[in-house]
Structure 1
């Protein structure tokens, strides 16, 4: 009789433990952007080193240093040319569809999702590289953007973004509307 009571007690204890483990697995994990991402990207209009840091569950702050590419020619210059110039960018991003992508069993690692952002960048003529003797004026761009970011392979990613914003030229003391299009392929470290 003692052995039967001991066996029933052990069986009951193991069932309680088993059910409590199942319940703990049902707790939904918090969907969030990555805590910190560091990488390099290259695109049609330059190359950049970037870092994305988590600010909130769906918000990341992207900072980048890079070399932007500008094309010139037409009525202002007799020849067509290119110039690479350094830029510093700060861009808060709101990834709005991470929960939906997760429910559809789509990849959300490394901030794979759609986003809205406010890109603020400063461009300078320091260290500019051109095929002609031209300079680029110091300027600041503020562009609200919509973008798509997808990760593929082990460390690779692709981004497309577009927006219409504002450019202020510090040397000419003038401003203008700009179209900002981006297509980038990158590598994460």
Structure 2
């Protein structure tokens, strides 16, 4: 009789241990986005703050500068303008990357996002040459972000958007590429 009680309690203890191990290992395998991270861009000087809203979603806020080239009957010129970029991002492949042993820290993964750019009026344009106006672009984008050793960060996203200002509206390609560093851990 004591032997069967021992066998039953051993089976129960083994089952509980297996269930605890499985639930603990599943909890470790589910990567999530950072609750908050701050980045500095060097390619297009600016700042980014990305706030985690849930396990896979973030609000990305960027204040940066952009450059453009314009050509018309008066000649050619480069423009320089500040912009704000707000994105609601959904990181879709964090589990797959973690399963392959790839890095997911600092939101290293692929994402889809709804993006809204506000391009301020160019600060380097002569009104006689080009009366450049502020504009807004709304676009769905696909992209990826990677953070490497030393917190070096690369972020690329692209899509097709709708741009409008006080004079015109049109479909435009959207490309946002940043190089910089994640500040902090």
Q: Normalising by the residue count of structure 1, what TM-score does the alignment of the two structures yield?
A: 0.78
Q: CA–CA distance in 2 between the matches of 1:95 and 1:26?
A: 22
**Corresponding position of 2:33:** 33
Q: CA–CA distance in 2 between the matches of 1:85 and 1:77?
A: 22
Residue 27 of structure 2 aligns to a residue whose secondary structure is coil
Cα shift at 1:27:
5.2
1:145-164 to 2 correspondences below 5 Å: 145-164=141-160
1:169 is aligned to 2:165: yes
Residue 31 of structure 2 aligns to a residue whose secondary structure is coil
Cα shift at 1:79:
2.1
2:124 is matched with which residue: 125, 129, 132?
Answer: 129
Task: Note the alpha carbon deviations across 1:108-162, whole angstroms, 9 max, x for none.
Answer: 0000000101110111227x13589644211100011110111112211112221
Do the aligned partners of 1:143 and 1:164 also contact (CA within 8 Å) in 2? yes
Compare CA radii of gyration and give the structure with the larger one. 1
Q: CA–CA distance in 2 between the matches of 1:27 and 1:102?
A: 12
**Corresponding position of 2:83:** 87
Q: CA–CA distance in 2 between the matches of 1:157 and 1:131?
A: 35
2:68 is matched with which residue: 61, 67, 70?
Answer: 70
In structure 1, stretches of 5+ residues that fail to align are 1-15
**Corresponding position of 1:12:** none
Residue 97 of structure 2 aligns to a residue whose secondary structure is helix
**Corresponding position of 1:98:** 94
Q: CA–CA distance in 2 between the matches of 1:157 and 1:72?
A: 30
Q: CA RMSD in A?
A: 2.5
Q: CA–CA distance in 1 between the matches of 2:40 and 2:119?
A: 19
Question: Are the structure 2 counterparts of residues 155 and 63 from structure 1 closer, same or farther at C-alpha, using a change threshold of 3 Å?
Answer: same
Do the aligned partners of 2:125 and 2:132 also contact (CA within 8 Å) in 1? no
Cα shift at 1:36:
0.5
Do the aligned partners of 1:124 and 1:136 also contact (CA within 8 Å) in 2? no
**Corresponding position of 1:140:** 136
1:184 is matched with which residue: 175, 178, 181?
Answer: 178
In structure 2, stretches of 5+ residues that fail to align are 1-13
Question: Are the structure 2 counterparts of residues 136 and 42 from structure 1 closer, same or farther at C-alpha, using a change threshold of 3 Å?
Answer: farther
Count matched residues. Answer: 165
Residue 26 of structure 1 aligns to a residue whose secondary structure is helix
